[in-house]
Structure 1
Amino acid sequence: MRATRRASLASFAAVAALAVPALVVGSPGTASAASDTAAAEVQCTGFTNVSLGGDWYLHVPSAGSGNYNCVVVRGMKGLPVLVVQESLNACFDQNIAEDRDFGPATEQAVRNAQTQINNNWHSHVVDVDGRFGPITSSYFHFQAYDYSNGQNGRHTGVCYY
């Protein structure tokens, strides 16, 4: 079991507010409609590097710079899926392939994370539906990276939410 330290939502929000400008990384044509409902929603097309101060940062799925009002759902492929998969493994002790393909294993891992989130808050704060949307994102634990820790940054062993 991987040991991680977790920061508070207030800490993340305070640091995220300072993250201007944020670096946006996307991959064209990676989102596909998973259902009629998902087709009406804005799909995440990449991720934003959210600064935590110093050389530390998070990858957070987004649809443009700082637009986190988007979804990552079953049937999607690409970088936003990879970001979710990496944090599911690092921060929620899931054991899924980091293959950029949001299939049944990733969907179940998101459900597991949503259940953990509700248990951590001792309340129903997110729907356990296997969909990574804006509400799940606001409670989700993201792994932190460090630019000074190897080529292109490496995971720090810390997860923030």
Structure 2
Amino acid sequence: MRTTRRASLASLAAVAALAVPALVVGSPGTASAQVAPKAVAAEAQCTNFTNVSVGGGWYLHVPSVGAGTGNYNCVVVRGMNGLAVLVVQESLNACFGQGIVEDRDFGGNTEQAVRNAQTQINSDWGSHVLDVDGRFGPKTSAKFYFQAYDYSNGQNGRHTGFCYGR
């Protein structure tokens, strides 16, 4: 049985969620001022991953818009297929013990595994830091534990059994 270790919460605490204030519309002095609805921007899909160094030749594979871009402002959601889905599935199994098939297909089992991970992350943080919605988006990515891969000494990306936040 492989033991998985996660980075300390102190190291994860450095990643802060951004809050976007709502806009108030209406004329000054009128009672009809209302909160404007949030503009829904089109969501970019994560299509590949970026290697994020954790030191010593170890890297995390973090879903991103394009290979190696470092743009994590994207989603991996039900119905998607591909490398970004596989990266999420591998970390769900290695870091959260989900036992799902790593098939590059984001179906119902992967969606439930993401919900389980979001619930675990909320528990680890001791507060509601993530919506438990089964969507792997920017907020989940910022708090998620990713499996580390060893690229040192000819290891060619061997799984380490260790998990870290980005």
What is the TM-score of this pair, normalised by structure 2?
0.76
Q: Tell me the residue number matched to 2:61.
A: 59
Q: 2:127 aligns with which of 120, 123, 127?
A: 123
Shift of 1:40: 2.3
Q: 1:160 aligns with which of 143, 150, 164?
A: 164
Shift of 1:54: 2.4
> Does structure 2 conserve the Cα–Cα contact (< 8 Å) formed by 1:58 and 1:144?
yes
> Does structure 2 conserve the Cα–Cα contact (< 8 Å) formed by 1:44 and 1:71?
yes
Structure 1 vs Structure 2: percent identity of aligned residues?
Answer: 81
Moved more, 136-145 or 5-14: 5-14
> Does structure 2 conserve the Cα–Cα contact (< 8 Å) formed by 1:2 and 1:93?
no
Q: Flag structure 1 segments of 5+ consecutive residues without an equivalent.
A: 15-37
Deviations 1:1-29 (A, max 9, x none): 64211113664798xxxxxxxxxxxxxxx
Matches within 5 A, 1:34-53: 40-53=42-55
Shift of 1:153: 1.3
Q: Distance in 2 between matches of 1:12 and 1:123?
A: 14
Distance 1:48 1:81, change over 3 A: same
Deviations 1:78-124 (A, max 9, x none): 00000000000000010100000000000000000000011111100
Q: 1:103 aligns with which of 100, 107, 130?
A: 107
Q: Which letter maps to 2:152? A: S
> Does structure 2 conserve the Cα–Cα contact (< 8 Å) formed by 1:12 and 1:52?
no
> Does structure 2 conserve the Cα–Cα contact (< 8 Å) formed by 1:9 and 1:139?
no
Q: Tell me the residue number matched to 1:8.
A: 8
Rg: which structure is higher?
A: 2
Moved more, 96-105 or 39-48: 39-48
Q: Flag structure 2 segments of 5+ consecutive residues without an equivalent.
A: 15-39
Q: Distance in 2 between matches of 1:6 and 1:101?
A: 26
Q: Tell me the residue number matched to 1:140.
A: 144
Moved more, 38-47 or 84-93: 38-47
Cα-Cα RMSD: 2.2
Q: Which letter maps to 2:137? A: G
> Does structure 2 conserve the Cα–Cα contact (< 8 Å) formed by 1:58 and 1:142?
yes
Q: Which letter maps to 2:112? A: Q
Deviations 1:128-160 (A, max 9, x none): 000000000011000001013665211111100
